[in-house]
Amino acid sequence: MTHTIVFHIIKLAKKVRRAIEAKLDIPFSYSQSSALLTIESRKGISQREIAQILHLEPASVVSLIDELEKLKLANRKPTADRRRYEIVLTENGHKAVKKIKEQAQKLENYLVEKLPKKDSENFLKTIEQLSGYLDKWEDEQINFRKEVNNESTSSKRPLAV
């Protein structure tokens, strides 16, 4: 049976995630690791921005940050806007990020050494292209939904007065 590109991408993503969680010496979940790396990469990042970058619901990020705070890896820092918190890493959070990067690099080195350099370069280029196409597709779907919603609300008869 021939599988689609999407099937193979999902399968590969699951294998990578399983390798990160089970095979590498990282005592954090994939979600926690992703959040820590995201926080480290953007000074002054908010929970909403983390949700957008990681493609998570804002409520899920609240729970995720709660977990990181309990583990003493991150803190919420108030800003001038009382509705917004800046998420910052603690000293332990910075140590965790260093360990995550080291372990992820081990996995990457293992995978890259299995492929010829040209194949590795082509694979990265293809992933970047597919990611860009998915961003464009998501934008088109959002715009389509907005158009459909606008048409359905504008086609309703006005109420009699």
Show the tokens assigned to 145.
Answer: 């939904």
pLDDT confidence of residue 72? 96
pTM of the complete model: 0.74
Mean pLDDT for the stretch of residues 3-30: 83
Show the tokens assigned to 150.
Answer: 């606008």
* Range 25-114: architecture per CATH: Orthogonal Bundle (1.10)
More confident site: 149 or 77: 77
Round to whole Å and give the CA distance between 50 and 79. 16
pLDDT tens digits along 102-123: 888 988 999 999 999 999 999 9
Mean pLDDT for the stretch of residues 151-161: 54
Dihedral sign, Cα of residue 137, residue 16, residue 44, residue 40: negative
Round to whole Å and give the CA distance between 41 and 15. 25
Round to whole Å and give the CA distance between 25 and 23. 7
**Would you list the domain boundaries of the chain?**
25-114, 117-149
Q: What is the band of 161 on the pLDDT scale with cuts at 50, 70, 90?
A: very low
Query: C-alpha angle 21/27/31, rounded to 5°?
Result: 55
